[in-house]
Amino acid sequence: MKKKAVFYHAGCPVCVSAEQSVLAALDRNRFDVEVVHLGTAKGRVSEAEKLGIKSVPALSLDSQIFHINFGANLSDLK
Amino acid sequence: MKKKAVFYHAGCPVCVSAEQSVLAALDRNRFDVEVVHLGTAKGRVSEAEKLGIKSVPALSLDSQIFHINFGANLSDLK
């Protein structure tokens, strides 16, 4: 069974770079990948917040959160 | 031809977590992975610095640098 990887971003240049490199490097045979644009999917900002996400881009791997570089604060996306 | 992934760390708990999750999730069919412990391989701190690494853990993917969460400043490892 595949694990879940969720990439949260806001369309910023730092986010795009992380998506194109880090997310693209994940092993898709082991991870189901979902990409969430918090700028458009405003309803999921609270989900990200509950997961412990402080800024984007962030990657949730099997519910563990990794902030990758810094694009924008989550609080600026509300 | 495989691309190169280099994971720079300092043995800190945040580093270990990133190594066990993010690094472990990379597609090894596409990336050759190297792990560099800057606490023991002091000679490579300057290499990391030249790459633009400010803190560990950090992941270099095909020479692009991604800081993952925050464990320690590079300057504290000199």
| Cβ contact A21–B62 (<8 Å) | yes
Residues A12-71: tens digit of each pLDDT: 999 999 999 999 999 999 999 999 999 999 999 999 999 999 999 999 999 899 999 999
Identify which of A49, A55, A78, A75 has the alpha carbon closest to the alpha carbon of residue A67: A55
CA-CA-CA-CA dihedral for B51, B54, B18, A75, to nearest 10: -120
Q: What is the mean pLDDT of residues B23-27?
A: 98
Dist. CA A44–CA B42, nearest whole Å: 43
Asked if A4 reaches chain B (Cβ–Cβ under 8 Å), the answer is no
CA distance between the termini of chain A? 34
Residue B33 has a pLDDT of: 97
Residue B78 has a pLDDT of: 84
The ipTM (two decimal places) reads 0.94
| Cβ contact A22–B22 (<8 Å) | yes
Kindly report the pTM of this predicted structure.
0.95
